[in-house]
Structure 1
Amino acid sequence: MQNEIEKYEIARRYKDMLRNTYRKLSDEDKDLIRKAFDLAADAHKEQRRKSGEPYIFHPISVAQIVADEIGLGATSIACALMHDVVEDTEYTLADIERLFGNKIAKIIDGLTKISVLNNQELSIQSENFRKLLLTLSEDIRVIIIKIADRLHNMRTLGSMPEKKQLKIASETTFIYAPLAHRMGLYNIKSELEDLSLKYTNPKDYFDIARQLEDTQKERRKYIQEFSDKISNVLNQEGLSYEIKGRPKSINSIYRKMNSQNISFDEVYDKFAIRIIYKSEPKDEKFIAWKIYSIITDIYSPNPRRLRDWIIQPKSTGYESLHITVMGPGGKWVEVQIRSERMDEIAEKGIAAHYKYKENYKVEENKVDRWINQVREILENQDNQETSEFIDNFKLNLYSKEIYVFTPQGDVISLPKGSSPLDFAYAIHTNVGDSCLGAKINGKLYPLSHELNSGDQVEIITSQNQKPKMDWLDYVKTGRAKTKIKASLNAEKRLISEEGKEILTRKLRSLKLNLDESLVNDLQTFFNEKNSQNLFLHVQNGVITNQDLKRFADKRTGVAGFLNRFRQKTNAKKKEINVKKGDILVFGEEEKKLDYTLANCCNPILGDDVFGFITVNRGVKVHKKNCSNAVELRANYSYRILKAQWVDGEKQEFETDILIKGIDRKGLVKDITDFLSSNANIEMKGLNFKSIDGVFEGNISMIIDNKSHLEKIIHGISHIDSVRKVKRSN
């Protein structure tokens, strides 16, 4: 039961949530929210979170995010308060519908279905993602409330066990951060990514956070110096504005450090300056470019870093003018110029979209179009594997955009890297299916050609044309991939039906009747991954009459029996092939299991690692910060094993180090002398090159463990002219 102090705190949090709402609430709105709160408070009164606090704190916090940080209205706030009621308490969906009506009941139903999937023992996050997207067909608010729910869970993840932390954090990076990005919720997307990094890679997270804190005073001073010169001119022009400076997210700095192989100090754009101006809608573009002109008169711009999302907003609806200029002290500074309306949309995403849509009667915005595209994809995803579906869909979540024109001058937004086929399918499925070629800016180009912003594209069609398998190599959009595969699968099904009939007749002549058991045996014998492929290969002659006779002989003859016996014996031999030198143990029980080291990240003794149970290759050991780790944890958390190094037999590891510096005479000799005489290692490969006075080397070597490697790196870094040494795998 809750004590008096807890009851007071619940009431305080509820009132605080009501005071801080993005939308103005009517008395009717407040009555609805109060009714939802009373029901949730009663339903959860006996429940507590892992941290020990009353469970009702969580729904109130989710409602606070929905009301203030996202900015949805009373219906969404009420649903946020009740989002766990049907799943976790005795209240039913029928109760919700009776008390609150069909609309709220549908949203709660969508939230409940997603939560049920989340709580299943087997991790099926791809299927979870599919289920999440299906709710778009019902009500987009389901996804937005679920994002708010995930944000609060991430903020309070510290009370969960480590295994659960890693699963939830990886799932957040894999599913919820991209969705938040696509809904225009950039602040929430950044926070989700930062919090995920905090649990999946705490060392780097806290290292970057500390360095940002250490440089905060210096950064503020620089922003002030940069802004003062601009403010003087903006004031003279009589503009009403605000200048803000904010650091980039920890995750974006981390990604840049890894993708560009640079240190924290080498990341030049650790912060951005934002100029937010007041303006009537009709003057927004004029004032944005006026401010641009003022800034570039004071600081020199980088012409390659101009991004105009005011003339052509992103598909998320984001509008802003981004420029990068050379600031004081020779530092590049990113400046974002936007009106108060644009800033509100950037901060609040979809909620602000619909607010301004109502106020200004704007045309169907790009978020609406995107939601309609999602619905169309969902209608055509029945035959896709779940993992294939999520891959296709995620193609459009983070991709950069280009803008191309139809012959009539209409603008179509596509992901960067798109081809004429993507363009054709964006217009209509029939145009895509019958696409023969394309004229780009008046010239003929192949279907594989990569489009650029500003291209004018005319699609040439033919009634005799049909989608081909190699088209899948040319397209970038999930829509195009889905439509091509649907067409190919329809044709494949017809051919495989013919193949099944042919196979039935041929087996009958061999005194065999086709049934489910026999199909399974045929698949195993011919190494086919499914029955459709089996029937296709019979139809097109890949599986011949002689092949089928061999199958029949092995199935019915003595030779077949002996062969099956040998296979079983060999399988047993493989099972008892245990790895020597047990220096890794797995799980809470610290079991010694047969394992191999993953080639994608090449872990060595001392690295933070985990085990992944593969389908048929035993346990693979990956580094915790392996590029594949997030996807493995998000989709297959039930196959993840805790792993740690223990004392075992002497074992050696192969690894590479990358060396960069200023070239000088004798540098290579100094490095090789150090390695051969001081570090006691075996070199497997050396590769050195010098371009315009800059030296770069890669060394493959055999080492004992991570500590050994760190001593080598430390030693080489102190050689004269060496500027950077790091492990490259």
Structure 2
Amino acid sequence: MNATETSSSLSKPAEPDTAPPPSAATPQSSTKKNAATSTEANVKAPTPAPVVGVASTTALSARLAEYMSPGDLKLIKEAYRFSDEKHLGQVRKSGEPYISHPIAVAEICAEWKLDVQAIMAALLHDVMEDQDVKKEELIERFGAPVATLVDGLSKLEKIEFQSQIEAQAENFRKMLLAMARDVRVILVKLADRLHNMRTLGVMRSEKKRRISRETMDVYVPIAHRLGLNNIYRELQDLAFSHLYPMRYRTLSKAVKAARGNRREVVSKILEAVKNSLKEAGLNAEVYGREKTLYGIYRKMQDKHLSFSQVLDIYGFRIVVENFRESYYALGTLHALYKPMPGKFKDYIAIPKTNGYQSLHTTLIGPYGTPVEFQIRTQEMHRVAESGVAAHWLYKDAEGSLTDLQQRTHAWLQSLLDIQKQTGDSAEFLEHVKIDLFPDSVYVFTPKSKIIALPRGATALDFAYNIHTDIGNQAIATRINHEPVPLRSELKNGDIIEIITSPGSRPTPNWLTYVRTGKARSAIRHYLRTINLNESTELGKQLLAQALVAVNLNPELPGTLVDKLLNESTAKEMDEIYTDIGIGKRMATLVARHILDLVEDDSPFPFQQFGDKQNYKREPVIIYGSEGLSVQLAPCCMPIPGDNIIGQLKRDQGLVVHTDDCEHAKRMHFKEPDRWIDVTWGEELNRSFDTRIIVTVNNERGALARIAAGIGESEANISHVNMEDGDANDMTNIHFTIQVEDRGHLAKIMRSIKHLSGVIRVVRV
């Protein structure tokens, strides 16, 4: 899969490049061939391809020779020759021979000391996509493992997708699932993306922004999740420079100026720290490090600071020999400068989810300047920079896995779990993005096992993290032995216990407060499965309405149904109805697609309605007993008699609001196509929740009188909450009550108003 959309035939311009590194060049023989055959291949290069000679692959060869056997090097040379031959005549946007790109990717992989199969895949990663080489040919020449890696790196064939977003999401899904089976797929892909980002300068501004946004949204978080901090930081800064070039240049100038202004402070701190550690008998490496430009930009954005207010642009890293010396060095630093309260983090005792280990502390340095220090061992430093590439995800001779390997393996396995429960590629990518957020919170099971979850995760996320069945059956939780709601947000160090019941089941409301992709996909999967029939019927009704709106008869003939199914991923019409019912497809878009098929076939293949202006579009009828496929919005709590409108929400079906709901008005402005006309049915055999506020004098027995009045009006109280009284000795009591309709509510409010001590009654 090539991030900058390499050509799928030799007649299209190839990938961008500017000035390739020495290792990213190509042998003289290949260059001459490319020049000779470019006319035949119908490639018009912007500039002649540079001739750089046989020394072009020297850097890659030298790096591979450090750890590869002669037999492995022979296999890699064979893969190089094959790739060079297949890309013959293909050039990048800059005019460079295309083979320079696979060589550069292979060299980045060689820096991580990836194995022979991964290096071969790096050299071959574009031959399937660009040169139409079949997987079978790769299996025959290089073996199944290499062919599988290359296949995982290749984009899907030119399938007809509903949108560019869907096509992109499906490609990501393919890559991430291949990565779940073999992490080398993503390592090679990250190397590919890194070289593309380094050479993005020749692309159009619009394309640079699109590729940079994709990098920031997906590849940067993946690099962080796998602990590849060098790649993570470089990709971040490269994407930032293309997304916001003016901001990047401005910050770059400001940082250069600050270097000169703060050089004296930095030198003074560096010297003092080195002397203190030496006096303590510690043999340590001490060096300064600078915050990345994107890191500075994010801090300014998140905390609303000016550049001059970002004081920790510079920090220091201390690398010691062993685990004990890390804490000894920490004590030495705290004796030298005063630590800032709340600014110490021990990632050695509790490592980050990507395996990162260090002690972090912020001290008040000379002139009152806050200075951050990171303390770690040589091994921790190696893992911090190379992450999962430093510890291969393969079992050693004894079959054991390191902690980092186990954590990464568990995350990769969770991708497969999400895939099983996810409806489509866009939803899958949405769930994965959620789990890629770098900030984590660390909590404990009752047996003291540490669980890492994204910051903002709730007790329900914890339940689903343990097992899907525990999440589905959760009814309550205890945090630090205290009962709290399932929606409670978790904090570092919490001890979580989940209480389950076989009769408990997920509700759509759970989606509003889960944070992890695993929990969200499991809830949506359950809701889709349990409400299939209801969603199908709703979808059928919505599509019929949309067809009528474009002057088509809702009774579709079989030939048209067959045509529609052939052009979609659905196997039968019920699938399309269900997708519409749960908000996954838009009924209006499906109707327009059907109209296009009609026009392609013949002007009038079946009976149409007359003038659309003369046809009254019937609203969807709501009875309140449709189950989970129709929900009454909790923001405005509509009841029969209210004027209502309906919103089609993805995977939640139809959500009904009152027509004066402020939240609904804002959503309608953002997505007008997702709103439909709805109306109440005639027979409604259930009660509906609504909220009222009763303002009363603070006197004895007021709550009891109001509760009795509500009961006498044949209504039920489902929730009550009292505010503190104000200076005028009045208080507000909030009730959620169950009523039949607006008439019933009006009767209740009148009866309450006549009670002693009641000042006013309003519906929320």
Class of the TM-score when normalised by the shorter of the 2 chains: 0.5 to 0.7
Alpha-carbon deviation of 1:152? 0.6
Q: Secondary structure at the match of 1:190?
A: helix
Counterpart of 1:292, as a letter, is: L
Instruction: Out of 315-324 and 360-369, give the one that drifted further.
Output: 360-369
Counterpart of 2:364, as a letter, is: M
Matched, 1:172 2:215: yes
Task: Report what 1:297 is aligned to.
Answer: 335
Task: Report what 2:88 is aligned to.
Answer: 45
Distance, in Å, in 2 between the alignment partners of 1:503 and 1:179 is 39
- Mapped contact 2:358–2:375 kept (Cα < 8 A): yes
Task: Report what 1:451 is aligned to.
Answer: 490
Alpha-carbon deviation of 1:37? 1.7
Counterpart of 1:72, as a letter, is: L
Query: 1:616-659 deviations in whole A, cap 9, x for unaligned?
Result: 79xxxxxxxxxxxxxxxxxxxxxxxxxxxxxxxxxxxxxxxxxx
Task: Report what 2:371 is aligned to.
Answer: 333
Query: 1:46-81 deviations in whole A, cap 9, x for unaligned?
Result: 22111011211111111111111x442222112111
Task: Report what 2:128 is aligned to.
Answer: 86
Counterpart of 2:204, as a letter, is: P
Task: Report what 1:102 is aligned to.
Answer: 144
Identity of aligned residues (%): 35
Q: Secondary structure at the match of 1:304?
A: strand
Alpha-carbon deviation of 1:492? 0.9
- Mapped contact 2:64–2:73 kept (Cα < 8 A): no
Task: Report what 1:112 is aligned to.
Answer: 154
Q: How does 1:479-494 map to 2 (within 5 A)?
A: 479-494=518-533
Alpha-carbon deviation of 1:298? 0.5
- Mapped contact 1:23–1:71 kept (Cα < 8 A): no
Alpha-carbon deviation of 1:229? 1.2
Distance, in Å, in 2 between the alignment partners of 1:115 and 1:296 is 59
Query: 1:501-539 deviations in whole A, cap 9, x for unaligned?
Result: 9999xxxxxx99687889xxxxxxxxxx973388799xx
Distance, in Å, in 1 between the alignment partners of 2:132 and 2:171 is 24
Query: 1:180-217 deviations in whole A, cap 9, x for unaligned?
Result: 11111122122112111212211000111122222334
Q: Secondary structure at the match of 1:214?
A: helix
Matched, 1:276 2:319: yes
Alpha-carbon deviation of 1:261? 2.5
- Mapped contact 2:139–2:147 kept (Cα < 8 A): yes
Distance, in Å, in 1 between the alignment partners of 2:375 and 2:235 is 25
Alpha-carbon deviation of 1:434? 0.6
Q: How does 1:125-274 map to 2 (within 5 A)?
A: 125-274=168-317
- Mapped contact 2:280–2:332 kept (Cα < 8 A): no
Matched residue pairs, number? Answer: 531
Counterpart of 1:293, as a letter, is: G
Task: Report what 1:378 is aligned to.
Answer: 419
Task: Report what 1:354 is aligned to.
Answer: 392
Task: Report what 1:76 is aligned to.
Answer: 118
Query: 1:161-187 deviations in whole A, cap 9, x for unaligned?
Result: 222212211221122111111111122
Query: 1:72-123 deviations in whole A, cap 9, x for unaligned?
Result: 2222112111111222236433222111100000011111236979999945
Distance, in Å, in 1 between the alignment partners of 2:476 and 2:614 is 56
Q: CA 1:459–1:615 in 2, change beyond 3 Å: closer, same or farther?
A: closer
Alpha-carbon deviation of 1:274? 0.8
- Mapped contact 2:474–2:499 kept (Cα < 8 A): yes
Instruction: Out of 45-54 and 113-122, give the one that drifted further.
Output: 113-122
Distance, in Å, in 2 between the alignment partners of 1:111 and 1:185 is 19
Structure 2 gap segments, 5+ residues each = 1-29, 34-47, 544-552, 562-574, 584-607, 618-669, 674-764
Q: Secondary structure at the match of 1:316?
A: coil
Q: CA 1:114–1:352 in 2, change beyond 3 Å: closer, same or farther?
A: farther
Q: CA 1:79–1:117 in 2, change beyond 3 Å: closer, same or farther?
A: farther
Task: Report what 1:531 is aligned to.
Answer: 577
Distance, in Å, in 1 between the alignment partners of 2:79 and 2:318 is 40
Query: 1:670-703 deviations in whole A, cap 9, x for unaligned?
Result: xxxxxxxxxxxxxxxxxxxxxxxxxxxxxxxxxx
- Mapped contact 2:282–2:329 kept (Cα < 8 A): no
Alpha-carbon deviation of 1:297? 0.6
Q: CA 1:119–1:561 in 2, change beyond 3 Å: closer, same or farther?
A: closer
Q: Secondary structure at the match of 2:155?
A: helix
Q: Secondary structure at the match of 1:302?
A: strand
Q: CA 1:46–1:96 in 2, change beyond 3 Å: closer, same or farther?
A: same
Q: CA 1:97–1:234 in 2, change beyond 3 Å: closer, same or farther?
A: same
Distance, in Å, in 1 between the alignment partners of 2:436 and 2:578 is 32
Distance, in Å, in 2 between the alignment partners of 1:390 and 1:86 is 24
Q: Which has the bigger relative contact order, CA under 8 A and spacing at least 6?
A: 1
Matched, 1:420 2:449: no
Distance, in Å, in 1 between the alignment partners of 2:248 and 2:616 is 50
Q: Which residue, 356, 365, 374 being the options, matches 2:406?
A: 365
Alpha-carbon deviation of 1:42? 2.4
Counterpart of 1:74, as a letter, is: V
Instruction: Out of 127-136 and 476-485, give the one that drifted further.
Output: 127-136
Counterpart of 1:295, as a letter, is: L
Distance, in Å, in 1 between the alignment partners of 2:426 and 2:542 is 31
Alpha-carbon deviation of 1:340? 0.8
Q: CA 1:434–1:218 in 2, change beyond 3 Å: closer, same or farther?
A: same
Q: How does 1:659-678 map to 2 (within 5 A)?
A: none
State the TM-score, normalizing by the size of structure 2: 0.64
Q: Secondary structure at the match of 1:475?
A: coil
Matched, 1:322 2:360: yes
Matched, 1:391 2:437: no
Instruction: Out of 116-125 and 366-375, give the one that drifted further.
Output: 116-125
Q: Secondary structure at the match of 1:198?
A: helix
Q: CA 1:22–1:394 in 2, change beyond 3 Å: closer, same or farther?
A: farther
Q: Secondary structure at the match of 2:364?
A: strand
Distance, in Å, in 1 between the alignment partners of 2:193 and 2:78 is 24
- Mapped contact 2:90–2:97 kept (Cα < 8 A): yes
Matched, 1:31 2:74: yes
- Mapped contact 1:23–1:72 kept (Cα < 8 A): no
State the TM-score, normalizing by the size of structure 1: 0.67
- Mapped contact 1:299–1:326 kept (Cα < 8 A): yes
Task: Report what 1:411 is aligned to.
Answer: 450
Q: How does 1:55-74 map to 2 (within 5 A)?
A: 55-68=98-111, 70-74=112-116
Q: CA 1:318–1:13 in 2, change beyond 3 Å: closer, same or farther?
A: farther
Counterpart of 1:402, as a letter, is: V
Q: Secondary structure at the match of 1:49?
A: coil
- Mapped contact 2:65–2:73 kept (Cα < 8 A): no
- Mapped contact 1:87–1:116 kept (Cα < 8 A): no
- Mapped contact 1:223–1:273 kept (Cα < 8 A): no
Task: Report what 1:471 is aligned to.
Answer: 510
- Mapped contact 1:10–1:57 kept (Cα < 8 A): no
Query: 1:405-434 deviations in whole A, cap 9, x for unaligned?
Result: 111221111112211111111111111111
RMSD, aligned α-carbons: 3.7
Q: Between Structure 1 and Structure 2, whose CA radius of gyration is higher?
A: 2
Distance, in Å, in 2 between the alignment partners of 1:512 and 1:2 is 62
Distance, in Å, in 1 between the alignment partners of 2:463 and 2:225 is 23
Q: Which residue, 321, 345, 350 being the options, matches 2:383?
A: 345
